Structure formats: structure tokens, C-alpha cells
Structure 1
Amino acid sequence: MRKHLLIILGIFIVAAAGIWLWISQPDEAHLAVNAVTGARPQITPPRPQNFPTIRIAEAVGWPQGAAPTPAAGLTVTAFARGLDHPRWLYRLPNGDVLVAETNSPPREGGGITGLVMNHLMDKGGAGGPSPNRIILLRDLDGDGMAETRTVLLSGLNSPFGMALMGGWLYIGDTDALVRVPYKEGDTRITAKPETVVKLSPGGFHWARNVIAAPDGKTLFVTVGSSTNIAENGIDAEKFRANILQVYPDAKTFRIYAAGLRNPNGLAYEPHSKELWVTVNERDMLGSDLAPDYMSQIELGDNFGWPWYYWGGYPDKRVEPANPDLQQYSKRPDYALGPHVAALGIAFAGDAKLGATFANGAFIGEHGSWNRVPVSGYKVVYVPFGDNGFPVKGAKPVDVLTGFLNAKGQAQGRPVGVITDKTGALLVADDVGNVIWRVSAGK
């Protein structure tokens, strides 16, 4: 008995020592974040890790009267406060704003590594039960603040993306694309959600975004991978790491684009009318790799995950190899930096934030958990040209910062971004539980 206890104690000590080494000696970045941004980011040799670097900003919330810091010439105010983990936003035609109050479904498994990572995710404000509802906010008098707040729909399953098409409100639950009837002005929907197509649940990436195609006939849905690099086998990733095109009348779908580890934001670029996506890339190649990105997507695109990143750089950890895919792996259009957790995307379109922000994309960077020093934790802007692509040589411009305080703690974390009916920018902050409104002027 004593021998068995000593063995167990020895295993515990070794495991504890490994965890301490994992936390106390992380991989530190060799490059500034800005060097790994743009159309031609610096792609350095990978530094593979057996344990991931962990460095997440502790979530503390906003002190009384505090707010993020806007770029010069802009002002930030609270559109709505006191929400419960608001992550995604959608503007209805009448100007009402929908907010998905949501979080990850319960996570299971992962062993010691999973336990430690779950603890650190809680620390970063990503823990807690999902509210599983959609809130409707209405600014009645146009003063930039929501006077009314109602629960439009509840009882969902980790909802995320929302899209209105053909009299239906479509919602991306973690395990299905569902829909409910909607008519303009509704503040409460009691109809039971109808399943359009089932989606693969579970795993690392739970959020399912949705956008309606311009022709009003199909929708696009993002489904992230269940793992980092298909470590449970590629069969476990069926219909994942994809953008799916859904045909709601037939209740079927096809793979529209593949090889995207964790696609999130979807938006149409106003000049080209083409669809763009933001994507979170892989972990455990070091603090400088691989860059999260945004890119235009077309039918048949494959961005290489899990075998390749940034247009053909091989990830030698993935077995079996897939050499035939290398030449067909699409290089993304624009890198947003390593581990920034790029989620929301909104094109300027009808934004009225001045000439500096008239033609480009706003990106909500939720912030890293596995980079030293941390990256993201802000909203940035990427200037575009009239050709529908980022300006040559352009780097991201800070729009909203100050989410980290002087101690490096997270007062807030930006996620979804949209424009409101007046042309201001709305930003969902799921740690501060605020919807921030960025407008022109001081």
C-alpha cells in the first residue's frame, strides 16, 4: 500500500513540476506583433511546444467611470451596460440591435492540461455558464443609448451568429443552425426554434457564425475545428474547420471553404461584394506563429489546416502528412498578428467616423491566452482600397484600446463589431458586459 502511495505521490510531483515549468518558462516572442501583420508578415521558423505557453490577462472588469480609449477624433460611450457575457451583435433593418449573450457549452475531458487551461480561461473571463439568449436593444430617441432591453429569444444552445432572411431569424447554435419567424418590431419571440441543419458540437471551438448571401437564397455558417491540429484524427474533424453553405429550403449544406482552423467573423466588402472571414490560427508553434488572419473566400478555397499555415508552410507535427495539398493551400489576404484572437469584422460601409475610417475593416481582437507578451485586446482598423483589398503595405490602425489596465489585467475584451443606424461603431465587450459605441467627434 505504501509503495502504491509513493508511486502516486511521485506521479503527482512530476506532473506538478511539468505544470510549473509550463507556466514559469513560456515561449517569449522574438518579434513585435506588428511585424507579423499585413499582406507579407514575417514568418519565422516554428518553435514547437509540448505544453502551450500560457499568459492570459486576468479579467477584472471596468472601474466606475472607466472606458476604453478611442483613436484621435473619436469618442466612446456605453450603448448598453449590465449585460451577461455579450459576444455577438446584429443590426435589424429597423435599427434594433440584437446581442447574443452566450458562452461555451460545458467542456469535458482534457486531463491535467485541460484542468489548468479551464482554470486560466475562467481567469480570463471566458468561463461560467452560457446565458443562452438573445437580447434586443432599442435606442428610442437616437441619443446613442439603448432605452429599452428585452429578451427576444431564450433557451438556445450557446448561440452566436444571427442573420435575417426571408422573414426568418437564423441563429447559429453550437450544434445546429436554427430559425424562428420574425416580423419587424418584434421584441419577444416565443416560437420554438426550428432546426435547419445540424452542426458538429463539442471540442475547442464552439461558436457558429452565420451570414445571409446577398441573393437571399443561402446562408454561410462557420464551424471551427474540434482540436488544435487534428490530434484526435482527421475523421473527428468532419464538416469542421469549414465554412458551410446552407440551403434552408432543402435543409442541406455543402462545404464552401475548408482548411480554416477557427473561422469567426463574416462580412461582405462593400466595393467587391465579396465575402470575407476572420480566422484564429493554430497554437503551440511559439509566440510568433501562426498569424491570425482575414481573407476573402470563394467556393473551393482550402487554407491548409491542419497540415499547412499561411499558404503552404508545413506543420510537421501533423501526421500523416498531406504533401499533395501544399500547392493548393490558399495564402490568406491579410495577417492580423499572432494569437490576437481576431473575431469580429465589420466593413466601414455606412460608418460615419471620418475620412480616416471611411474605407476598410474594423476587427475585434479578443486577446491572446498563449503569447508572451499578450497580443490583441483591442479593436483595429485595416484600410482598404477601392479594389476591395487592403491598401498595399498598410498595417492595422488602433481604433479602441485601453482594455488592459496598467497591471496588465483585462478590464474588457472586445468581440463582435457592427455599425449602428447612425453610422457609429458598436463593440461587444464580454468581460466588461458592455456594448461600447464609438462615434466621430469629441
Structure 2
Amino acid sequence: MKKWLLLFILLLALTPVIIIGGGLVPITSVAVLWNTLTGSGIDTPQQQVLDQRFQLADGFSLNVYAGDLPNARFMAISEHQAILVSRPHQGDVVLIQPDQQNKTVGGQRDILIQGLTRPSGIAIHQGWLYIGEANRIGRIAFDSATASTSGDYQTLVSGLTDDGNHPYKQIKIGPDGMLYLSQGSTCNVCLEEDSRRATMSRYQLDGSGEQLIATGLRNTMGFDWAPWNNALYGTDNGRDMLGDDYPPCELNLIEAGQFYGWPYFNGANQADPDFPEAPKALASSAQPPAFEFPAHNAPLGMTFIDAATLPDRFEKTALVALHGSWNRSVPDGYKVVSLHWQQGEIVSRDLISGFEKNADVIGRPVDIAQGSDGAIYISDDYAGAIYRLVYDGNDNQQNAATSTATAPATSAALTPISLTTPSWLTDDNREALYQRGQAIVAQRPCLRCHQTATPNSNLDLASIGQRRQYQQIIERLIQPTPPMPNYSFSEEDQKALAVYLVFESLKPK
């Protein structure tokens, strides 16, 4: 091993921060940072460890489908249920046959194609395997019945730049029959020399007819189309070096011709400190996210699932793999969440958690795919694994709370007589605001400070309804007292938080 590499490892082991671009950045762990830089990881955990560590949504079970797959990243499933998985640092795509005797585990595995340049996104369509390499998009004829390729590998799009922080390319075939390409930024926050970076484009299936679809997408490694209206949504990783809790990562509704903020704006169009004088035209046109993930959660693969074999609560649902923080003083993310489109809102719930526990990381989920039998597969580039998740229980969480919280008493059962009800709070919108506020509290790290507060103190959320009116809570959210960060909540989020905090504190204990 080269001397400089040994020195770098030693320095990382001796300090909780690293210096990037003149700033200090906390790191979650040396091993996780090394995984981010090199794709290396750990041995696949045994099933017993998973059973002890993982918390699953009610009625689900999970097992290791395939282990010993270092750097397993993005997947595609053939019509004969073979799983194809890209491995950028190995430069190959591996094919895992289904086991004919035991469908819960993978069977024979083979390297389907190798010698590639950091392959990432893959897609199977009409007898072709499409591969997004760091510097090009290619395809090769693929026979699902024989699980084999034939003929020469064809370059469809060449000359893609692969320098900088986010060289990987994500591809998918859209419902319009076109090839979509997402390219991440070269940097944390900067103006790109290559105008195709930090964008989404689309092509004809032969690579011709390039069309720029959307700009200002820092690193959108997951995207999919909602099956009920074909709307395109994509996950986007927020920038670094602005603290543990800012800015949020994003889920964007991606529409042709739109600009999504980076590098000038973060979250709901908040000006970035490195670009305080953003062009006015961009400020008025930047699209806010459809949903915000906590900062540094690193949402990667996302898939809208077929809920035919699942409980009703999974209707209109996408699953998202949160790869987890590498640059946070307290680790966060490291889970698979379900996003539910309901009553005009997107609500997040934990589906699988436990990849990280007390700063001990045993996995980093990357991508999600669903087989024709309804089974859900999750890749993990840190544990070198593909997991298989199935629903095999009774649905007794029809009214499950968001994220990890338990379902509360309905807000309609609570009567805060001591409070003056504002004009914007009505019987018709109270429940929706309450649920939205609950989701925000679950997504943000609020309870890390507030749950240990002295009872009836200013930090005690359990008694806030006895101490503050709705507007007083909103004012505190607008101008928080340090060390509480300013999350720049939207007006609707401020109202939702006020309603949730008041009603939660006044419900019978």
C-alpha cells in the first residue's frame, strides 16, 4: 500500500474531523468515510445479527438474499427474476439467478459483463441491458430466458465527464419509452464547467436526440415515475459543510424545463451562503422540494412499489434507501423509508431501520427493486449484500404513525380550552395539520434535545400547550433561540408544528 494512503488512514483514525475546501467537516466514522471514498465495506452480517438489530414495519420479514457482493449498488430484475447488480469499483455487473428450490435466497451468480468504467445505473428493456458508466451510456443484447448477453457492447452516449465528487450516472427507461440520465455535480457547491452536470436529460433508446429536462439537481441518484399519474420524482442529496442539520436532502417533482435550486438555493429555496447574490430570475423560478429528508441522510435509490400483495396503507407508496451520513457528528439516515402520497401530503415512515445503532454501522442501503412476486430487494454496498423483504403478517397498522412514532390519539379528541383558536385552524383542517406536524417532528432531530428537558421548562414540549399560544410557537419557529437551528419552515409547516405540539401536549396522559 502506498505511503500516502497509510498516512491518510492514520490521520483519519486520529481525528473526528477532516478538512475539505478550507472547512472542518465532522465524520461519522473512518470506515463509513472509507466506504464513501473507495466503495470498500465489511463482511455481510449473519442473519442472527440482522434479526437482533433490524426493526421492520409491522408484518414484514427480511433475510440476506445474497452476500459477499462488495460494492453492490444499483439493481434491475429480469422477467425471469434474475437480479442484476452494478458494482462501480469492480467495473462489472453481476447476475444472480433465483434458486429453484428456495426462493428466499439467490442461486448461481456470474459476472455478466466486466471491464466497465464505474458502472452504476442499469436497466433492462426490450431485449437490451442498458448501463450507465461514469463516462458513457452503453447497451448489450440481453436474453432474460438464458440470463446471458450476446453481440458487442454498444456505446450510445459518449463523452460524459466523470471527474469530481459525483461521477456515477443513473439511468432508467421512462413510461414514454425514452432513456433518462441523471448526472451529479462535480463538487459540493460551485458553478459547473460542464453544463450537463447536476442535471437530468433524456434520449431516444439509441442515444440520439439529447434533451435537457431539468437543472439544479445536485446529485439525483434515485428517480421513478408515480404509476397513478406518471409524475417523475427524484431524490437529491443536499450539500455539505453547513452543519449537522442543514440543508435538507430533497425529493423533487421533476418537470421538464424546471430549475431545482443548486447551487444557489437549498431546501425550500433558501439562499446558499456561498451564493448570497443569486440571479433574480433564478430566485423566482427555483422549484422547492416536494418533500424534505433530514440533512445528510443521503437518499439514493427510490422505487414506486406495486402494493397488490401489501396492506392498503402501501397504496401510492415509494420506497427510498437512505444511504446515511458520512459527515455528521452523530450518524443519521441508514434506513429504508416508505413515502406515502395521501391527502395531498407526502408522509414518511420507517420500513427498515437498524443499519446504524449507537454509531455502529453494519449496512448502508443503496437501491430498491421489486420482483414480480411482490418481494422487495435492497442492495447494500457497505455490507456487500442484497436483502429480501416480504410481507407475511396481518395488517394491524392501518393508522400507523409516521416514521418511528406510535399512532397518537386523534386530534379531534383533544380540546385545548385554555388556548385562543386562530382563524386558520378549523375542524376541517385540524387533523391534516396534526399529522403533518407529527411527520415533521419525526423527520427532524427535535427530540434529541427536547425529550430530555426538565418537565415544565421552556424546552419541555410535553407541556408547551399550557405555556404558549399557537402564534407564540410559530414565532419561536421563525426566530429560534440558539442552539436550536433555524430550519426556515414554510408557513404551512409552522402551523402544522404548532397544532401538533399543542394537541400532543394536551392529550390525556
Q: Same fold (TM over 0.5)?
A: yes
TM-score, L = length of structure 1: 0.77
Specify the alignment match of 2:413 in structure 1: none
1:137 equivalent among 80, 89, 96: 96
Compute the RMSD of aligned alpha carbons.
2.5
Partner residue in 2 for 1:329: 286
User: What is aligned with 1:53?
Assistant: 26
CA distance in structure 2 between the aligned counterparts of 1:271 and 1:61, rounded to whole angstroms: 40
CA contact (8 A) 2:76 2:84 kept: yes
SS at match of 2:162: coil
- Give the direction of change, closer, same or farther, for the CA distance of 1:394–1:213 in structure 2 (3 Å limit): closer
Matches within 5 A, 1:188-203: 188-189=148-149, 191-198=151-158, 199-203=160-164
| Letter of the structure 1 residue corresponding to residue 87 of structure 2 | E
The one-letter code matched in structure 1 to 2:313 is T
2:112 aligns to what? 152
1:66 aligned partner: 49
Aligned residue in 2 for 1:289: 246
- Helix, strand or coil at the partner of 1:200: coil
Give, as a single letter, the amino acid of the residue that structure 1 aligns with 2:352.
L
Q: 4+ residue stretches of structure 1 with deviation over 6 A?
A: none
Question: Which one of 159, 174, 199 corresponds to residue 213 of structure 1?
Answer: 174
- Structure 2, unpaired ranges of 5+: 1-10, 33-41, 394-509
Alignment pair present for 1:99 and 2:85: yes
Alignment of 1:249-328 (within 5 A): 249=206, 251-318=208-275, 321-328=278-285
> In 1, Cα distance between the equivalents of 2:363 and 2:79?
29
Which is helix-richer, 1 or 2?
2
Alignment-derived partner of residue 370 in structure 2: 419
Against the structure 1 CA distance between its residues 359 and 319, is the aligned structure 2 distance closer, same or farther, given a 3 Å change threshold? closer
What amino acid does structure 1 have at the position aligned with 2:392? G
- In structure 2, distance between residues paired with 1:382 and 1:21: 33
CA positional deviation for 1:50 = 2.7
SS in 1 for 2:25: coil
1:303–1:309 Cα contact (<8 Å) kept: no
* TM-score, normalization by structure 2: 0.67
Separation (CA, whole Å) in 2 of partners of 1:21 and 1:277: 32
Instruction: Report the CA distance shift for 1:181/1:63 in structure 2 as closer, same or farther (over 3 A).
Output: closer
* Match runs of 1:16-35 below 5 Å: 22=17
Partner SS, residue 262 of structure 1: coil
SS in 2 for 1:290: coil
CA-to-aligned-CA distance 1:139-172 (integer Å, 9 cap, x gap): 2436222122122111111111112234321110
Q: Is the 8 A contact 1:134 1:151 kept in 2?
A: yes
Q: Does the 8 Å CA contact 1:58/1:409 hold for their aligned counterparts?
A: no
Equivalenced residues, count: 366
Q: Determine which of 353, 368, 379 is the counterpart of 1:401.
A: 353
Once the 2 structures are TM-superposed, how far is the Cα of residue 396 of structure 1 from its aligned partner?
1.6
Q: Deviation at 1:441? A: 2.2
8 Å Cα contact 1:150/1:188 also seen in 2: no
Question: Computing the radius of gyration over CA atoms, which structure comes out larger, 1 or 2?
Answer: 2
Correspondences of 1:108-147 after superposition (within 5 Å)? 130-141=89-100, 143-147=103-107
Contact 1:153–1:190 (CA under 8 A) maintained in structure 2: no
Aligned sequence identity (%): 28
Partner residue of 2:145 out of 175, 185, 191: 185
**Residues in 2 aligned to 1:21 and 1:70: alpha-carbon distance in whole angstroms:** 31
Q: Which one is further off, 353-362 or 264-273? A: 353-362
Decide which moves more: 307-316 or 138-147: 138-147
- Which residue in 2 is equivalent to 1:170? 130
Aligned-partner SS, 1:338? coil
Q: Which has the higher contact order (CA 8 A, sep 6+)?
A: 1
SS in 1 for 2:23: coil
- Specify whether residues 314 and 223 from structure 1 end up closer, same or farther in structure 2 by C-alpha distance, changes over 3 A only: same
| Residues 141 and 150, structure 2, Cα contact 8 Å, conserved in 1 | no
Deviation at 1:319, TM superposition (A): 7.7
CA contact (8 A) 1:57 1:409 kept: no
Aligned residue in 2 for 1:110? none
C-alpha separation in 2, matches of 1:252 and 1:336: 34
Q: Give the letter aligned to residue 284 of structure 1.
A: M
